[in-house]
């Protein structure tokens, strides 16, 4: 959360199940992430994790050692 890279500079991120783990490339299971953020997702090595909430927003959860209770959803490009 907090990344300022626009969609034009992002990669498609498999939110529901990682592509390496057999995740589907379906639009309802994908989100956008800049390259560094996309590579930081690694739940098995104390990396970031992602999940899709009920509003189809990507929630980013940091590893325990980095978790300061910050927002889980990046609203930089669409503040509410």
Segment 4-59, tens digit of pLDDT: 998 899 999 999 888 888 988 999 999 999 999 999 888 777 889 999 999 888 99
| Full-model pTM | 0.79
Each residue's pLDDT tens digit, 62-73:
888 888 887 688
Q: Beta-carbon neighbour count of residue 39 at 10 Å?
A: 13
Q: Distance between CA 65 and CA 63 in Å, rounded?
A: 6
**Is there a contact between 72 and 60 (Cβ–Cβ < 8 Å)?**
yes
pLDDT of residue 10: 93
Question: How many angstroms separate the most distant Cα atoms in the chain?
Answer: 34
**Angle 11-20-10 (CA atoms, 0-180°, nearest 5)?**
5
DSSP 3-state assignment of 18?
A: coil
């Amino acid at each position: 959360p907090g990344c300022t890279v626009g969609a034009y500079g992002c990669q498609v991120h498999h939110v529901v199940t990682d592509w390496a783990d057999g995740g589907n490339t379906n639009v309802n299971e994908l989100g956008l992430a800049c390259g560094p953020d996309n590579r930081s997702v690694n739940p098995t090595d104390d990396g970031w994790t992602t999940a899709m909430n009920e509003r189809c927003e990507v929630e980013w959860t940091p590893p325990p050692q980095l978790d300061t209770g910050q927002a889980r959803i990046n609203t930089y490009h669409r503040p509410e």
